[in-house]
Structure 1
Amino acid sequence: MLEMIDIEMDNAVAFQMSGKITEGDMALVLNVAKEKISRYGSIMLFEKINSFSGVEFSALIEEFKYLFDVGISNIDKVAILTDKKWIEHIVNIEDKIFKSIDMKCFALEEQSQAIAFLKGL
């Protein structure tokens, strides 16, 4: 399940997730991202991962279609809140691969620090 949240940043796509990510969840986030990119030019991502039990295959197809259509060049920063070390390791690897995007993990209770990071404070 995925729920959009407000972190009081107009160009941020912010959401929290728990459980399994569905095609509908993925479509919701990607549609918000497209709309904000068309409005602001570039976006920040804020992901709060309360729990994670997988992704539907159809959700991955939605993500690949988005990446093919839009790409990732419009994403400036990504802040991920999680208590899972394995997610933190993946984010560290992605940060090295996608050099144009500044990615950082935070503990679940560090939401204000994650928002400050996105704002460049």
Structure 2
Amino acid sequence: MIKIVDIGIKNALAFQISGKITEIDMKILLDKAKEKIKNNGNIVIFEKIDSFEGVEIAAIIEEFKYLYEIGMSNIIKFAIVTDKKWIEYIVNIEKKIFTNIQIKYFHFTEEKNAIEFLK
């Protein structure tokens, strides 16, 4: 499940993940991303992961369609907040792949720092 949250930053796409990500979750999230890009140009992303139980294949297809249509050039910063150590390793790999985006891992105890990073 994905829940859209407000972190007080106008151009932020902020959301919380718990459990499995469905196609409907992904569509809602990507529609919100399109809206933020339309209204603000560049966006920052705040992703808080409480638990992660996988992604429906249909959700992955929606994400690929979005990436083909919109791309990632409008994303300038990405903060991932979680206590899952394995995600920190993924973030370090993503930093090397997506060098034009500032990507940073934060522990739950550093959530305020994550929000400051996105400002």
> Which category of TM-score, normalised to the shorter sequence, fits these structures?
over 0.9
Equivalent residue, structure 2, for 1:76 = 76
Output the TM-score relative to the length of structure 2.
Answer: 0.98
Mapping of residues 1-121 of structure 1, within 5 Å: 1-119=1-119
Runs of 4+ in 1 over 6 A off after TM superposition: none
State the Cα deviation string for residues 23-68 of structure 1 (Å, max 9, x = none): 0111111000001101111100000000001000000000000000
Instruction: Measure the CA separation in 1 of the matches of 2:4 and 2:93.
Output: 26
Query: Once the 2 structures are TM-superposed, how far is the Cα of residue 83 of structure 1 from its aligned partner?
Result: 0.8
Q: Secondary structure at the match of 1:93?
A: helix
State how far apart, in whole Å, the 2-side matches of 1:56 and 1:109 are.
29
Tell me how many residue pairs correspond in the alignment: 119
RMSD value, Cα: 0.6
Q: Percent identity?
A: 61
Unaligned segments of structure 2, at least 5 residues: none
